[in-house]
């Protein structure tokens, strides 16, 4: 897991809506190792799905536009590839599991033929061989091959999500982008699908970026975590570092809003306020209007830079700058 598979450098994405510029992603840097799972965590509208669609180059243009940045898969910058070559990357080297299986599946095609279509797109084989491989993929995700000729409406929500996962894994991609793959499922089915995804990922040595709101899902599946707020990564590190020693006030707020079995509190501790308007982001730190530790320096100038507090654990907060001691603020205040 030492070899880098994916590198994202200074990614910026904007949408144009009603004559206004929506700054959805604002300078994201990500590095993903082969065989590693990275969890992208944050509130709705933070830019998580936009990042994954930018990687695949499937953002709607217009209104979306990548204004800056690079996305490297191994030694190839995906933004430099011609559209035809990018078609060979999608589904073959990078696959995406979408949030809602009902909209990801074609209601007029059998589930088996939809998987076979992906296989035929990227392999020079006969229809018969593609059907055989598709049936094998259905079996791999726990669906009997005899259901090959059934349609999506004949499957439950959990089974449809298994079909979508089979489609994503059909060509053994190097990278899977999983956009909240279990959000629409009940807790029992969610656990089954997550366990299956973990096992298949290990079996096929696939890397994964998992987009989710659920910190429990992150704890179960991820190696590293990146916390996203207002289109920026505000904290990143190993799963153990983020869960055991959260540093950014936003990350601490996310954990504070979780119920705890050993806590007798009658109320949770929500993060006050709302995420900022992406058409009019605050000056300085984007989190400053909601931050209980904000002071004058947080509200002026540019966005704070990422600071490596301990090896591999980064935080975007000026409380961790050496200069912050001049304001009488200590790091212990964030915990």
**Tens digit of pLDDT for each residue in 187-206?**
777 788 788 888 888 888 88
pLDDT for the residue numbered 323:
52
**What is the arithmetic mean of pLDDT over 55-75?**
93
Q: Quick one: which of 234, 46, 2, 6 has its CA closest to 242?
A: 234
The DSSP H or E segment spanning 238 is strand 232-238
Q: pLDDT, tens digit, for every residue of 114-151? A: 999 999 988 889 999 999 999 999 998 889 999 999 99
The predicted-structure confidence for 14-25, as pLDDT tens digits, reads as follows 999 888 999 999
Please answer whether residues 48 and 40 qualify as being in contact, where contact means their C-beta atoms are separated by less than 8 angstroms: yes
- Mean of the per-residue pLDDT values for the chain? 88
285: its two tokens: 């730190």
Q: What is the 3 state secondary structure string of 259-281?
A: CCCCCCCCCCCCCCCCCCCCCCC
Residue 186 has pLDDT above 80, yes or no: no
SS (H, E, C) 48-111: HHHHHHHHHCCCCCCCEEEEEEEEEECCEEHHHCCHHHHHHHECCCEEEECCCHHHHCCCCCCH
What are the domain boundaries of the chain?
Answer: 246-334
Distances (CA, A) of 220 to 117, 193, 240, 243, 250: 32, 12, 12, 12, 21
Q: What is the pTM of this model?
A: 0.87
Q: Are the C-beta atoms of 255 and 269 separated by less than 8 Å? A: no
Residue 77 has pLDDT above 70, yes or no: yes
- Taking 80 as the threshold, does the pLDDT of residue 262 lie above it? no
In the predicted model, what is the mean pLDDT of residues 272-289? Answer: 91
């Amino acid at each position: 897991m030492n070899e880098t598979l994916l590198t994202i450098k200074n990614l910026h994405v904007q949408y144009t809506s009603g004559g206004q510029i929506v700054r959805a992603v604002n300078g994201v840097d990500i590095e993903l190792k082969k065989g590693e799972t990275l969890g992208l965590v944050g509130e709705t509208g933070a830019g998580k799905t936009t990042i994954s669609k930018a990687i695949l180059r499937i953002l709607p243009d217009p209104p979306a536009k990548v204004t800056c940045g690079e996305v490297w898969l191994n030694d190839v910058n995906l933004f430099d590839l011609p559209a035809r070559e990018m078609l060979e990357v999608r589904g073959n080297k990078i696959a995406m599991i979408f949030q809602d299986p009902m909209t990801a599946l074609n209601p007029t095609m059998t589930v088996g033929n939809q998987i076979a279509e992906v296989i035929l797109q990227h392999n020079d084989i006969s229809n018969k061989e593609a059907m055989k491989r598709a049936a094998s993929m259905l079996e791999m995700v726990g669906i009997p091959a005899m259901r090959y000729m059934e349609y999506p409406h004949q499957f439950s929500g959990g089974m449809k999500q298994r079909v979508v996962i089979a489609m994503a894994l059909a060509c053994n991609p190097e990278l899977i982008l999983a956009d909240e793959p279990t959000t629409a499922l009940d807790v029992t089915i969610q656990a089954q699908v997550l366990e299956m995804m973990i096992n298949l990922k290990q079996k096929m040595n696939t890397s994964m970026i998992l987009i989710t709101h659920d910190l429990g899902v992150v704890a179960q599946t991820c190696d590293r975590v990146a916390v996203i707020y207002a289109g920026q990564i505000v904290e990143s590190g190993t799963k153990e570092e983020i869960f055991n020693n959260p540093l950014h006030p936003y990350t601490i707020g996310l954990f504070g809003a979780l119920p705890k079995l050993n806590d007798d509190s009658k109320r949770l501790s929500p993060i006050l306020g709302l995420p900022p308007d992406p058409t009019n982001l605050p000056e300085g730190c984007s989190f400053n209007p909601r931050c209980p530790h904000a002071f004058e320096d947080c509200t002026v100038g540019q966005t704070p830079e990422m600071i490596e507090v301990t090896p591999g654990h980064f935080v975007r907060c000026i409380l961790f700058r050496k200069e912050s001691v001049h304001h009488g603020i200590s790091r212990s205040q964030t915990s």
